[in-house]
A and B are shown apart, each in its own frame.
Chain A
Amino acid sequence: MNTLDPLVQQAWQVLDTLTDPEIPVVTLRDMGIVREVFHHEDALEVIITPTYSGCPAMEQIEDDVRSTLQTLGVPVRVTTRLSPAWTTDWMNEAAREKLRAYGIAPPERCASGAVNVVQFAPRSAAKRGASDQPACPRCDSKHTTEVSHFGSTACKALYKCLNCLEPFDYFKPY
């Protein structure tokens, strides 16, 4: 059950080919969804942590993990771990860069101290310091504004760049 176990290493190699069904440029490992792999006597166990309770991609992800690991010829068990809850802070630097290149503004780091504070949205970009705004993934300008709290998937909000005028998805810090 340690990382030097050849079967566990092999499993990670296979898992590294799996991408997020909604954002095909990042892997499940980059996203921080696949947490750990254990080699038990009876099976390989893969721990995954869901992003959002209602994310329709989660069942697809579970199926993908199970069917991909079957190629190793050992029984596989996928276990869902809820706590600690998934956070965008688990996303690695490589993933952030890949998101930006794909046209999605990557999430800011969550302020750890503010976990229990309900933060309300400012009503306009003017009321918020320009440095707090996500940068446009196309022209890198921070002169951007939120169009909608909710975007094309549960994990994103819709923004608009006031510099190049392109709309873009922002991965919500979560």
Chain B
Amino acid sequence: MDTPVTPVQAPQDYLLHLADNALVLGQRNAEWCGHGPILEEDIAMANISLDLIGQARLLYQLVAERRGDGCTEDALAYFRDVPQFKNYTLLELPHHGPLVGYAVSERDYATTLVRNFFYSALMVEVWSGLLDAADSALAAIAERSLKETRYHLRHSHDWLIRLGDGTEESHRRVQAAIDHLWAYTLEFWSASPVETAAADQGLDMTAIHAAWQRTVAAGLAQATLHQPADDGYVPQGKTGVHSEHLGYLLAEMQSLARAHPHGQW
């Protein structure tokens, strides 16, 4: 940059977008706590969730501090409703493929791992880009989060290969998860007011898209999996238009705080 750098605060909606992504995926992955397919993976998911919720807290604390007026991290996490959440739709989906009506299904670990792979491959690039963010508080959070996200990517990448290049059954299930979730990743690349307003933070989404495609294509190839075509409806979770699943997730996550509105713990 040629011009002298003045402290620029990233738009609060953008910080909330990053925070909501981390919180919603953290809450989803935490559903495996006590139900993991094997003990090591149960522990892995709980650890990943703790990292994600920790990242969300840092971002909510930053927004709350800047808003002032008594705003707290808990108010942002527990007292906003579906249209105010700015997370990608991908992250709120349940741990299984599409179903008809209100049918229920067992959680599918392939869906969990593929989603974590797509998201952590994206966030490694986003956090790397934000290391140079004009907002120094955001850059510090990025520095912290990048290390964790790299480790999450390593975990899901390993499992992608183990399942994809595994048995007929594991290959079929992980491919089904990719086919189901692929269209939801298109939301990463669509323009939104939240991201346009944050353009001065220096993120180059075109370069990030290319880097993400390289990581994903290499992972899928090594796992003998097939990459679906880019088509279908592009979700708009980051603008507040969500699937029916987010409401249920928030209801479970927020009920305790809303039952005891001024509770301290």
Contacts and interface: CB of A to CB of B under 8 A. Distances in A.
B54 A53 contact: yes
Interface residues of B, number: 35
Given A53-B58, A151-B43, A85 B154 contact: no
A123 B143 contact: no
Contacts of B52: 54
Interface of B is mostly: helix
A147 interface: yes
A47 to B, nearest CB: 13
B53 interface: yes
A136 B55 CA distance: 33
A119 interface: yes
Given A82-B140, A148-B40, A53 B154 contact: no
Contacts of B153: 118
Interface stretch (B92-100, B155-163, B244-252): B155-163
A150 B54 contact: no
Interface string A106-125: 00000000001011110100
For the complex of A and B, the 3 pairs showing the least CB-CB separation, nearest first, are A53-B54, A54-B50, A54-B54
Given A56-B50, A149-B154, 16 more contacts: A52-B51, A53-B58, A53-B148, A54-B50, A54-B54, A55-B50, A82-B58, A85-B140, A85-B143, A116-B128, A118-B153, A120-B154, A123-B158, A148-B44, A154-B50, A158-B40
12 contacts: A53-B50, A53-B51, A53-B144, A54-B55, A54-B148, A118-B124, A148-B40, A149-B44, A149-B154, A150-B43, A150-B47, A154-B50
